[in-house]
Chain A
Amino acid sequence: MSERARNVGGVTEPDLDGRRSDHEVDDHDIVIKEGPRGWRRTVLEVVRRPVAVASLLILVVVVVMAIFGQWLTPYGINEVNISRRLEGPSAQHWFGTDELGRDILTRVIASASVSVRVSVIAVAIALVVGVSLGLFAGFFGGWLDSVIMRSQDVMFAFPEILLALAIVAILGPGVTTATIAIGIVYIQVFARVTRASALSVRTETYVRASKSLGAGPLRQMFSHVLPNISAPIIVQTSLSLAFAVLSEAGLSFLGLGVQPPEPSWGRMLFDSRAFFQDAWWLSVFPGLAVFVTVLACNLLGDVLRDVLDVRGAATTRGGGVR
C-alpha cells in the first residue's frame, strides 16, 4: 500500500485559501509534484515486480517465436529424417526428434505462431463482443439485461470444451473455426465481468454528470463507464489469453484445431501419446511450452489485478485530498 500511496498520492497541495493539506507544507500556493501519470504509472508499477518482469519476458519470447519463428528454427518444420527418429535431446537436437525424425525444438518454436494467433484473435473476438454485450446489459438494465445475460447463462451452462466442440462440429475443424469457437466460448466471461462492473459504475455521479451535460447513452457508456471498468477487463483479458492457449491446445489435441502437418503444441502432445513411455521428450517439451505460456499469462494477470485494483485505486483517487 505504501508504494501505491507514494505513487498515486504523490501530489499534494494546499487549498486555495492557504490551508495546508495533511501531507506537506510548502511556501508556494500550489505544489504539484510531477510524477508519472495514467497508464505510464501502471506500467512502472508492473515493471517494478520481478514476477511481472519474468512473465513479460516469457511472453515476449513466445511472441518473438510466433512472429520470427520460421527464421529462428535450426531445421525445417517438416524436415523428415527417418534415420534419426526418436532421438533424445542432444547437441544437434536440443529437444530430441519425433517419430519421423523431425526436430522437436523447431516444431515447438513453430507452434508458437499458431497458439498466439489463435488465442489472441479468439480473445479479441470475445473481448469486443463480450464487453459490448456486458456494457449494454449493465448500463441499460431491464429487459435488455435479462435477454443478454440469460443467453450468456445458456453458454455458461456448457462446459467450455464441449461448447467449443459443438461449434467446431458445426463449422468443421481447422484453425479458423477453432479460433471462432474459442472466441465464442469466452464471450460470456467478458460479458459477465463487464456487466458487473458497469452496474456499479453507471450510478456514479460522474456518469450522471455527463448525462446532465448532454451525453447520450453511447457516449456515457463508452467515454465514461468503459474507462472506469477497464481494470477488471484488462485482467480478464490476460487470464483469458492463458485459457485460450489451453483451449487451442485442447482442441488441437482432439484433432479439431490445427491440422497436420502444421505443428501445434496440442497436436504434438496428441502425436506423442504412442511414444510416451519410450520418448518422454516428445510430450514434455510441447507440454512445457503450453505450461510456461499459460503460467506467464496467469501471473501477469495476477500482477495486473494487484496493480489495477479497482477499489484501492478508487479510494486513493477519490479521497486524495479531501
Chain B
Amino acid sequence: MSPAALEVRNLSVTIGQARIVRDVSWSVAKGETLGIVGESGSGKSISVLSAAGLGPASARIDGTVALTIDGREQDLLSMPGSQLRRIRGRRLGFVFQDPGTSLNPMLTIGRQLTEGPEVHLGMSRTQSRKRALELLELVGIPDPERRLKSYPHELSGGMRQRIMIAVALACDPEVLIADEATTALDVTTQAQILDAIRDLQNRLGTATVWISHDLAVVGGIADEVVVMYGGEVLERAETVELFRSTQHPYTRGLFESRPHLGERVDQLTSIPGAPPDPRATPPGCVFWERCQVRGDKRCRTDHPELVETSPGHWVRSFYTMSGADPHQDTASTVRPLPWKEHR
C-alpha cells in the first residue's frame, strides 16, 4: 500500500464524562477510499470532524492525525488554529450530508466556488472564475456559465451536492471527506454522485474518506472499510475481504439487516437494542448488550482488543464468524478466536 495521505492514530474524543470516540486508528492512501460505517451515534462523524478540528469546542481530543503534505507529515491536532485553517479547504475538502443546507442560500454558486481559491490560493477574481467554471464542468454540471449566477434554491438536490463537491475540490485538496454525502439523495442521484466521485478520484488522485451508515454505498466505493460502534472500531478490512468473510457479529448484523432485492419478508431483520451510553460504557465488549453470540462471560467483563485475524483484517471480538454464507445459522458457526489472555 502506498503511504498514507491521512492517518489517524489512537484518536479519542471525550466530552465531559462521555467518551464519544475511543482509540480509533485508520489511514487512507492517495487515490484510495476509506469507508467508515456505523449507525447513528457510533462516533463515525465526530471522529473525523474532531480530527480536522471541527468537533464540538468542549471536546478533549487525544491522539495523532497525520496529514502528509508534499511528502511531509503534519499533525493536525497539535497545530495552532490559524495553521489548521489554512489546511482546511486547501488540503482537506468536506462534503456534508444535506446539500440543501450546506450551501449558503444568500450567495451565488459562483461566489461560493470562488471563495476558496481566492482565499487559499490567492487567485484573482478572473482566475478564480475560470477555476469555478472548470470545477463545474469537472463535476458534470451543464451550462456552467449560467450556473455561476444561480442561487442554491434554483438547483435540485443532486446538483447542489455536485456543487458541494466542486466547492470541496476547489483547491485541489489531498483528502476529500464525505460525511453521509449521498444519504439525503434518492438512489439514482446517489449512484450518479458516487460515479462522479469515483471518476474524479481516478483523475485527481484524491484520497477519500467516506462516512456512511449504508454498507451498500460504502461497499460500492471504498477500498477499505472501518466498522464503528459505540465509539470504537469493531472491524477493519479491505472491502472485498470484509464482504467475503465478515468476522464481527456486529458487522454480520449490519449485513443481515439489509433488505434483499426480490426477497419478500414481513419484517426486516434488525439488531435489537440501542448503542451504549457513552457516559457509561460497559467494561466488556461495547456490543455485548446487543450481541447475538455472547460466547462466554469474558464478553461482559473483559474488553476485547483489535486483533489482526488475517493480513489486513482486524477484529475486536472474542468470537468471530467463519464463512461468509449469510443464510447459515450464526450461532452454530461461531468459533472462538485464538485469544491472548489480557488484563
- Measuring CB to CB, which residues of chain A are less than 8 angstroms from any residue of chain B? 8, 11, 13-17, 19, 21, 29-30, 32, 37-38, 204-206, 208-216, 219, 223-224, 227-228, 230, 314, 316-322
Contacts and interface: CB of A to CB of B under 8 A. Distances in A.
B85 A214 contact: yes
A229 B189 CA distance: 32
Contacts of B186: 15, 19
Contacts of B143: 30
Given A206-B101, A208-B54, A15 B107 contact: no
A206 B103 contact: yes
B105 A317 contact: yes
B117 to A, nearest CB: 11
B86 to A, nearest CB: 6
Contact of B94 (A11, A209, A227): A209
Contacts of A37: 149, 151
Nearest to B149: A37
A21 B96 CA distance: 23
Nearest to B177: A212
Contacts of B158: 15-17
11 contacts: A15-B157, A206-B101, A206-B102, A208-B96, A209-B102, A213-B89, A215-B89, A227-B106, A227-B107, A321-B155, A322-B100
Given A8-B153, A205-B98, A17 B189 contact: yes
Contact residues on B (Cβ < 8 Å of other chain), bracket: 35 or more
Contact of B151 (A16, A216, A317): A317
B90 A214 contact: yes
B149 to A, nearest CB: 7
Nearest to A11: B154
Contact of A219 (B92, B94, B119, B150): B119
A32 B146 contact: yes
Contacts, number: 124
Interface in B79-119: 82, 85-90, 92-94, 96-98, 100-108, 115-116, 119
Among A11, A206, A230, chain B packs the most CB atoms within 10 A around the CB of A206
Contact of A318 (B100, B120, B168): B100
B49 to A, nearest CB: 8
Contacts of B184: 322
A8 B146 CA distance: 17
B156 A322 contact: yes
A208 to B, nearest CB: 7
B151 A214 contact: no
Interface in B159-177: 159, 164, 167-168, 170
B309 interface: no
Contact of B106 (A19, A215, A230): A230
Contact of B88 (A11, A19, A214, A227): A214
Given A215-B85, A219-B119, 11 more contacts: A15-B158, A15-B188, A16-B159, A16-B192, A17-B188, A19-B186, A30-B143, A209-B102, A214-B87, A224-B107, A321-B156
Given A17-B188, A204-B101, A318-B105, A212 B52 contact: yes
Contacts of B100: 318-319, 322
A322 B157 contact: yes
B88 A211 contact: yes
Contact of A228 (B86, B87, B92, B104): B104
